[in-house]
């Protein structure tokens, strides 16, 4: 009897021992996507405006698009990058905004515009919306966890250069959405990852608000990396009629065309299945590209992120069972591109936009080709 009890006790003990060892040897910087800190940008302190849209228990209507881009093989695209056009993009921040549905804080977003002269000037959502060219595609990128403001500013410029130089004659308007994904840390990896996963999901409300302010004639491509894919999928789930943390978005993103790209997706592979966490996300997109890396090293530990975690979508991809459960029209919207040979164990966002083949595979989604 005592031997049976010992066997039943040994499993949980070994599990938590592995968690402790993993937490001690892997800091958030190593397993996340943070780069060494850079000097702070020459910009004013964050000052936000109250935008007046808060999530409440309610319902919205949504319609799905209909046009799918042709699948793009990464070995069949043009790899000739040329000089990047003069940079001009926006950084939209929720770092000083409310981060919990029960938190008493301000709703609203801080906006900065990167102008051709190299300055990062403070703006606001209304001005951003007025500067966007109606009908021209808008690409919104959301980073993952453990990313500081300074690193986001640097990587925004690098990613903009990569996407624009790949297709300099095609029009696009780029927005980089940043959320409070860095410290303070507990330095217990599963705890830190879980906290940021929930926070990323909540930021779907902020991203939904941003999308609602963009001219409806502008098609929007959402790109998420790592936990940033939760920001993207949360916003799409809200737009598709779902709820996040028991609340829905009472605004509307209109009937615009929407596409999505998931890079290093730190979500369970089945969360887009009907009835699951983001089961309404596919209702609102016309197509979704999942960049699958079966050797992504940090996501090999994804099963420690929360109890009963399934395999990460980035590593597992949408399985045949997932596709069958999604079924019908929504299943036909999904495209998967295996980038394992290009990335190997790499996970960081610069390793994605720094690879010409991967960028080329994303171009039809970004530029609505």
Question: Higher-confidence residue: 30 or 5?
Answer: 5
What is the average per-residue pLDDT within 134-149? 97
Q: What's the pLDDT at 17?
A: 55
Q: How many whole angstroms separate alpha carbon 175 and alpha carbon 343?
A: 25
Q: How many whole angstroms separate alpha carbon 12 and alpha carbon 14?
A: 6
Q: What's the pLDDT at 184?
A: 87
Q: Is the dihedral of CA 187, 189, 191, 196 positive or negative?
A: positive
Q: What's the pLDDT at 55?
A: 56
Q: What's the pLDDT at 102?
A: 86
Domain assignment of residue 83, yes or no? yes
Domain assignment of residue 45, yes or no? no
**Encoding tokens for residue 13?**
């003990």
What is the average per-residue pLDDT within 123-139? 97
What is the pTM (predicted TM-score) of this model? 0.81
Domain assignment of residue 46, yes or no? no
Q: What's the pLDDT at 135?
A: 96
What is the average per-residue pLDDT within 235-241? 97
Domain assignment of residue 316, yes or no? yes
Residue 32 has pLDDT above 50, yes or no: no
pLDDT tens by residue, 37-86: 333 333 333 333 334 455 554 333 333 333 444 444 444 333 343 444 55
As to burial, measured by CB atoms within 10 angstroms (0-12 exposed, 13-18 middle, 19+ buried), residue 247 is middle
Domain assignment of residue 121, yes or no? yes
Domain assignment of residue 38, yes or no? no
Question: Would you say 351 and 298 are in contact if contact means Cβ atoms under 8 Å apart?
Answer: no
Question: Higher-confidence residue: 359 or 79?
Answer: 359
Question: Higher-confidence residue: 288 or 29?
Answer: 288
What is the average per-residue pLDDT within 128-146? 97
Q: What's the pLDDT at 51?
A: 46
Question: Higher-confidence residue: 153 or 105?
Answer: 153
pLDDT tens by residue, 162-184: 999 999 999 999 999 999 999 88
Mean pLDDT score of the chain? 83
CA angle at 333 for the pair 155 and 349, rounded to the nearest 5°: 15
pLDDT tens by residue, 248-263: 999 999 999 999 999 9
Domain assignment of residue 130, yes or no? yes
User: Quick one: what percent of the chain has pLDDT higher than 90?
Assistant: 67
CATH number of the domain that residue 317 is part of: 3.40.50
- Cis previous bond, 184, omega within 30: yes
**Encoding tokens for residue 138?**
């808008």
Domain assignment of residue 113, yes or no? yes
Question: Would you say 171 and 137 are in contact if contact means Cβ atoms under 8 Å apart?
Answer: yes
Domain that holds residue 261: 2-33+51-366
Q: What's the pLDDT at 62?
A: 33
Instruction: Count up the domains in the chain and report the number.
Output: 1
């Amino acid at each position: 009897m005592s031997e049976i009890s010992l066997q039943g006790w040994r499993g949980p003990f070994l599990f938590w021992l592995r968690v402790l060892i993993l937490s001690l040897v892997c800091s958030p910087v190593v397993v996340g996507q943070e780069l060494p800190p850079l000097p702070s940008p020459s910009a004013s302190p964050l000052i936000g405006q109250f935008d007046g849209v808060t999530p409440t228990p309610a319902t919205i209507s949504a319609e799905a698009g209909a046009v799918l881009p042709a699948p793009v093989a990464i070995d069949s695209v043009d790899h000739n990058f040329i000089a990047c056009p003069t940079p001009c993009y926006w950084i939209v921040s929720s770092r000083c905004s409310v981060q919990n549905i029960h938190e008493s804080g301000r709703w609203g977003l801080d906006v900065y515009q990167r102008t051709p002269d190299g300055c990062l000037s403070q703006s606001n959502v209304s001005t951003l919306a007025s500067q966007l060219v109606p009908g021209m595609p808008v690409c919104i990128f959301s980073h993952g966890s453990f990313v500081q403001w300074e690193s986001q500013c640097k990587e925004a410029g690098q990613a903009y250069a990569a996407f624009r130089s790949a297709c300099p004659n095609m029009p696009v308007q780029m927005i980089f959405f940043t959320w409070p994904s860095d410290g303070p840390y507990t330095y217990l990896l599963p705890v830190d990852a879980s906290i940021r996963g929930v926070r990323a999901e909540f930021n779907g409300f902020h991203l939904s608000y941003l999308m609602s302010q963009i001219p409806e004639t502008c098609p929007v491509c959402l790109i998420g990396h790592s936990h940033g894919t939760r920001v993207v999928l949360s916003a799409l789930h809200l737009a598709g009629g779902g709820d996040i943390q028991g609340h829905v978005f009472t605004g509307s993103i209109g009937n615009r065309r929407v596409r999505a790209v998931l890079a290093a997706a730190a979500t369970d592979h089945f969360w887009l299945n009907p009835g699951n966490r983001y089961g309404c996300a596919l209702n609102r997109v016309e197509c979704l590209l999942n960049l699958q890396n079966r050797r992504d090293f940090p996501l090999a530990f994804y099963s420690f992120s929360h109890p009963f975690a399934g395999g990460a979508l980035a590593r597992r991809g949408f399985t045949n069972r997932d596709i069958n459960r999604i079924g019908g029209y929504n299943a036909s919207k999904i495209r998967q591109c295996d980038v394992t040979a290009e990335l190997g164990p790499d996970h960081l966002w610069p390793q994605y936009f720094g690879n010409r083949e991967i960028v080329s595979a994303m171009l039809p989604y970004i530029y609505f080709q």
